[in-house]
């Protein structure tokens, strides 16, 4: 059984030697338990936070422990009457080939699900994040302008498409020409701006002629700096992620702009609200699923996956996620379906 464990804590960007591949004996299966074989492993930005020994909304991964993560798995042995061999389940199994579960926290998936990996993306955690963050906190109204960064990724691509379905004007921000073209042409956003362009702020200003009513924050840093002056009175900011800051070990140099930010929030009466998806919206999963399954069936939502073949490539793929190397929801194919 191959397992990726946390070998050391990163200083800044993670490197390959922060991870170690260990091979252990197959775990024993006791009464009430099932043995699960990983098929797809989800790689997500939050995992960077778990590598730090810092207080957060979730415990850090301990040194020498298996890296955490959600996975779609097959039951290969069952001593639990609720599960049979061959069942497909969503588990929080981590970066490994096999693990044992007592059934708590497992979610059964249809055994013949057309795309099981969607349980980690459009029909899973990133989908729920996009749907609830945008609709519950962002509250987009027809005709309003919605801006979202990391627009070709798992969460951002869905935020923009849902906002289009709600009748909004949608501007994406993404890294590079190819991603921007995809966001415009395939996802149907009204425009997409490359955050690597030197004139990001002026391009964003021209695309948002009537200001910004909802900014779905995935990134922070210079993208937020470009957004701030364009926010309209009563704008809403679902604060979902700050990926540009995850590798930072200290605050950036330069003038303190906290007063500028707070002044804008105050005089424009802007609402900025953070959320942690399962804490805040886990209980609304069914409502999200109903809407998203219907949109997918009607061809109203596109979802791109970036599937990396082989558990051995997980660290490299994860390091790339924090540098924008993924193009779509990053998933590792650990084994055959
Ligand atoms: P993505 O599939 O969007 O992949 C991450 C993308 O972030 C990269 O492809 C890259 O896109 C972009 N990125 C990386 N570094 C930078 C940078 N320095 N500046 C600008 N963009 C950067 O990931 P997800 O959709 O899974 O996650 C998106 C955000 O949502 C993350 O911040 C994540 O932490 C957050 N999140 C929060 C949740 C919550 O409960 N609050 C739940 C799920 C996700 P590009 O090449 O376009 O720059």
Query: What does the pLDDT look like over 260-310, one tens digit per residue?
Result: 999 999 999 999 999 999 999 999 999 999 999 999 999 999 999 999 999
Distance (Å) of CA 291 to CA 126, 285, 287, 294:
14, 10, 7, 5
Q: How far apart are CA 91 and CA 301, in angstroms?
A: 25
- Whether residue 179 has its Cβ less than 6 Å from ligand 1: yes
Determine the average pLDDT of the residues in 147-156. 98
- Whether residue 106 has its Cβ less than 6 Å from ligand 1: no
What are the b/e assignments for 143-174, b being 16+ CB within 10 Å? ebbbbbbbbbbbbbbbbbbbbbebebbbbbbb
Residues 233-272: tens digit of each pLDDT: 999 999 999 999 999 988 888 889 999 999 999 999 999 9
- Shortest-distance atom of ligand 1 to CA 330: 2
- Nearest-CA residue for ligand 1 atom 38 is 240
Average pLDDT, the chain: 97
- Nearest-CA residue for ligand 1 atom 32 is 241
Given a cut of 90, whether residue 139 has pLDDT beyond it is: yes
- Among 50-59, 96-105, 154-163, 167-176, the range scoring the smallest mean pLDDT is 50-59
- Whether residue 87 has its Cβ less than 6 Å from ligand 1: no
Determine the average pLDDT of the residues in 15-35. 97
For residue 326, the Cα-to-chain-centroid distance in whole angstroms is: 12
Residues 69-94: tens digit of each pLDDT: 999 999 999 999 999 999 999 999 99
Copy the structure tokens of residue 46.
């939050």
- Shortest-distance atom of ligand 1 to CA 325: 9
- Whether residue 50 has its Cβ less than 6 Å from ligand 1: no
Determine the average pLDDT of the residues in 176-182. 98
- Whether residue 159 has its Cβ less than 6 Å from ligand 1: no
First to last CA, the chain: 17
Alpha-helical (H) ranges within the chain are 46-50, 125-132, 154-165, 177-185, 200-207, 221-227, 258-267, 277-281, 285-297, 314-321
Of 148, 150, 174, 241, which is best to mutate to test ligand 1, by the most ligand atoms within 8 angstroms of its C-beta? 150
Given a cut of 90, whether residue 62 has pLDDT beyond it is: yes
**pLDDT for the residue 252:** 83
- Nearest-CA residue for ligand 1 atom 33 is 241
Copy the structure tokens of residue 34.
């099932």
- Whether residue 173 has its Cβ less than 6 Å from ligand 1: no
Determine the average pLDDT of the residues in 33-48. 98
**pLDDT for the residue 254:** 87
- Beta strands across the sheet bearing 145-149: 191-194, 169-174, 145-149, 212-216, 231-239, 271-274
Distance (Å) of CA 140 to CA 58, 131, 212, 283:
30, 11, 11, 22
**C-alpha angle 282/125/68, rounded to 5°?**
105
Determine the average pLDDT of the residues in 157-167. 98
Q: How far apart are CA 94 and CA 333, in angstroms?
A: 13
pLDDT band for position 319 (50/70/90)?
Answer: very high
- Whether residue 240 has its Cβ less than 6 Å from ligand 1: yes
**pLDDT for the residue 56:** 87
- Whether residue 157 has its Cβ less than 6 Å from ligand 1: no
Expressed in angstroms and rounded, the spacing between residue 155 Cα and the centre of ligand 1 is 8
Given a cut of 90, whether residue 54 has pLDDT beyond it is: no
- Shortest-distance atom of ligand 1 to CA 174: 47
Can you list the domains of the chain with their CATH numbers? 2-120+304-333 (3.90.180.10), 125-278 (3.40.50.720)
């Amino acid at each position: 059984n191959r397992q990726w464990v946390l070998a050391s804590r990163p200083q800044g960007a993670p490197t390959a030697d922060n991870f170690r591949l260990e091979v252990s004996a197959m775990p024993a299966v006791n009464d009430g338990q099932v043995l699960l074989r990983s098929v797809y492993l989800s790689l997500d930005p939050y995992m960077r936070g778990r590598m730090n020994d810092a207080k957060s909304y979730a415990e850090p991964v301990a040194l020498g422990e298996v890296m955490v993560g959600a996975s779609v798995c097959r039951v290969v042995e069952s001593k639990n009457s609720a599960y049979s061999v061959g069942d497909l389940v969503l588990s929080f199994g981590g970066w490994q080939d096999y693990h044992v579960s007592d059934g708590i926290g497992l979610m059964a998936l249809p055994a013949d699900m057309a795309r099981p990996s969607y349980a980690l993306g459009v029909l899973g955690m990133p989908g729920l994040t996009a749907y609830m963050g945008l609709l519950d906190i962002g509250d987009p109204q027809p005709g309003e302008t919605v801006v979202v960064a990391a627009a070709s990724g798992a969460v951002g691509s869905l935020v923009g498409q849902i906002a289009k379905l709600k009748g909004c004007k949608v501007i994406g921000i993404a890294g590079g020409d190819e991603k921007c073209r995809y966001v415009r042409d395939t996802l149907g956003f009204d425009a997409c701006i490359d955050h690597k362009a030197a004139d990001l702020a002026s391009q964003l200003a021209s695309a948002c002629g009537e200001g910004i009513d909802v900014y779905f924050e995935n990134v922070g840093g210079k993208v937020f700096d470009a957004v701030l002056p364009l926010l309209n009175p009563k704008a809403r900011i679902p604060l979902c992620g700050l990926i540009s800051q995850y590798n930072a070990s200290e605050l950036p140099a330069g003038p303190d702009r906290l007063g500028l930010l707070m002044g804008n929030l105050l005089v424009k009466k802007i609402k900025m609200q953070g959320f942690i998806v399962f804490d805040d919206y886990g209980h609304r999963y069914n409502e999200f699923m109903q809407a998203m399954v219907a949109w997918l069936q009607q061809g109203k939502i596109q979802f791109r996956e970036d599937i990396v073949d082989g558990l051995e490539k997980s660290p490299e793929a994860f390091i790339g996620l924090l540098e924008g190397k993924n193009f779509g929801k990053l998933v590792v194919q650990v084994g055959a379906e």
